[in-house]
Amino acid sequence: MSWSTAFEVVSAAAATCRGCGACVPRCEVLACAGGADVPLSVGEVAAAFADAAAGRGDEAARTAVAALAAERGELVLAARRCCMDGFCTLGCPDGIDARAVFSALRVLLREAGVTGDDGFTMTRVDREWHIFSAYRAVHGIFYNDLPSLENAREWGADTLFFPGCSLASYAPELTREVFAWLQERGMAVALSVDCCGSPLRSGGFADRCEAHKAALVGRAREAGIKRVAFVCPGCRDEWEATAGAEAFELVALPELLAAAGARPRPEKVAALAGCDDPVLAMLDSCHDRDGRFGGPLRRIFVDGRTVELAHHGKSALCCGAAGAVSLVDQPLCDARAHRVLDEEPGEAGADLVVANCPTCAYTFAATRRADAAAGAVTGPAFCQYLELLFEAGFDWSGVFGRLESMWSGEYGPWLAQELL
């Protein structure tokens, strides 16, 4: 997304908004976007930036946005604290989509020099080395023995398994187990450990995100891929919004699992929940409001005791990870995580929260780790849905230990050079 395109998106929202304020009570960020106890709607935040840059050439507009940011830091903070899950504008009578608006605002802020790489250097996933690829390299997590995009034609693969960064990096045994399951179902499968590009969007690098995704889709097309199976709803969202992706059948992995009659392993359910005959709550990702993951998952778990959270399906809430908000407001991320991990599951009587997104599971693991360090009382247990269907799983204690140790070991200087 260029400066001009971002400015058009922001200006359109400002012009379209009727100022009804329906979005404000749905978001803790908008409630104080204009300063302490000063609410602003999505359209009003957009209008502040649009008005500052209106009628100016690109360079003058950048200068005006930078001046506005210096004068009204609360507007910058609002743009950076938005998780961009779009919940606030789900029912907007003017059809405004907060995700597009705040993504565009981040582009304007970066182009105006207000924000830079600050904190995003480790998630520049369009480069060879980023936090996920470096983690795998340092800890010897490779998949060179499996078909990939680079040799898919040689293997006759027409289906691409896209596990996403968190699963491929932090649960390699589980990744391999799912890959083998797909093969056992007669699919000719190749594996991609590429990132979908979403961290670039969070950093305001929308143009780089689109270029990265276009290259990925192009590689898949050249490899002869016809179908892509996704573990993560967010990855599917990024592919679906990429030009050329309409050439592929984009499939949610739970659809394949449900069609094959997959059922949870009772011993895994009891072990992860910490009790017999537990009550499960499906945590729908904010990227899965169309239910393409959550629907099949509910069919898979139909024989068990389940409850619905207050916000599920079309009203699903962010787990706290989206939008890279932790870089500017970790307490807000923690509050969002506790809302969907503790508060709503506790009210529903759940013993185990089943996340359909691996990044949600990572966020919950980090939350529980912080809770333990603070001596806080915690609520239900959690897991990622694949952990209940397969033998392998996530060893979160090991993951965090390896994330920390990699910086102090022999690779520390190299990591600092490449990622910081």
Considering 111, 130, 156, which residue would you say is the last residue of a domain? 111
Same domain, 273 and 380: yes
String of DSSP letters for 253-317? HHHHHHHTT----HHHHHHHHTSSS-EEEEE--TT-TT-TTHHHHHHHTTTSEEE--SS-GGG--
pLDDT for 81 equals 86
pLDDT for 28 equals 86
Same domain, 236 and 128: yes
Q: Which residues pair with 252 in a beta bridge?
A: 230
pLDDT for 321 equals 83
Same domain, 92 and 152: no
Q: Give me the tens of pLDDT residue by residue for the chain, a chain 420 residues long.
A: 788 889 999 999 999 998 898 999 988 888 888 877 888 889 999 999 999 988 888 899 999 999 999 998 888 888 888 888 888 898 899 999 998 999 899 889 988 888 877 677 888 899 999 999 999 999 999 999 999 999 999 999 999 999 999 999 999 999 999 999 999 999 999 999 999 999 888 887 888 999 999 999 999 999 999 999 999 999 999 999 999 999 999 999 999 999 999 999 999 999 999 999 999 999 999 888 889 999 999 999 998 899 999 999 898 888 888 877 777 788 888 889 999 999 999 999 999 999 999 999 999 999 999 999 988 877 899 999 999 999 999 999 999 999 999 998 899 999 998 888
Strand order in the sheet with 279-283: 305-307, 279-283, 352-355, 381-384
pLDDT for 222 equals 95
Residue 134: count other Cβ atoms within 10 Å of its Cβ.
19
Residue 172: which H helix or E strand, with range?
A: helix 172-184
Question: Is the separation of the CB atoms in 46 and 17 below 8 Å?
Answer: yes
Same domain, 84 and 170: no
User: Is 117 domain-assigned?
Assistant: no
For 160, the 3-state DSSP assignment is strand
User: Is 211 domain-assigned?
Assistant: yes
Same domain, 277 and 326: yes
Predicted confidence (pLDDT) per residue in 248-303, tens digit: 999 999 999 999 999 999 999 999 999 999 999 999 998 888 899 999 999 999 98
Residue 190 region by backbone torsions, left for phi larger than 0, else alpha for psi between -120 and 50, else beta: beta
Same domain, 305 and 243: no
| Residue-number span of the structural domain to which 365 is assigned | 266-389
Which of 415, 388, 327, 401 shows the shortest CA–CA distance to 82? 327
Q: What is the rounded CA–CA span in Å between residue 227 and residue 247?
A: 9
Same domain, 126 and 210: yes
Q: What is the rounded CA–CA span in Å between residue 26 and residue 318?
A: 12
pLDDT for 73 equals 87
Same domain, 78 and 191: no
User: Is 394 domain-assigned?
Assistant: no
Same domain, 302 and 179: no
Considering 111, 136, 154, which residue would you say is the last residue of a domain? 111
Q: Which residues pair with 279 in a beta bridge?
A: 305
Q: Tell me, what CATH number does 369's domain have?
A: 3.40.50
pLDDT for 352 equals 96
User: How many structural domains are present in the chain?
Assistant: 3
Residue 381: which H helix or E strand, with range?
A: strand 381-384
pLDDT for 85 equals 86
Same domain, 271 and 253: no
pLDDT for 31 equals 85
Considering 111, 132, 156, which residue would you say is the last residue of a domain? 111
Instruction: Please provide the distance, in angstroms rounded to a whole number, between the alpha carbons at the two ends of the chain.
Output: 25
Same domain, 131 and 251: yes
SS3 of 197-249: the string is CHHHHHCCCHHHHHHHHHHHHHHHHHCCCCEEEECCHHHHHHHHCCCCHHHCE
Q: Tokens 């998952």 — which residue? A: 297
Q: Tokens 């009772």 — which residue? A: 266
Q: What is the rounded CA–CA span in Å between residue 51 and residue 255?
A: 46
Same domain, 404 and 292: no
pLDDT for 283 equals 94
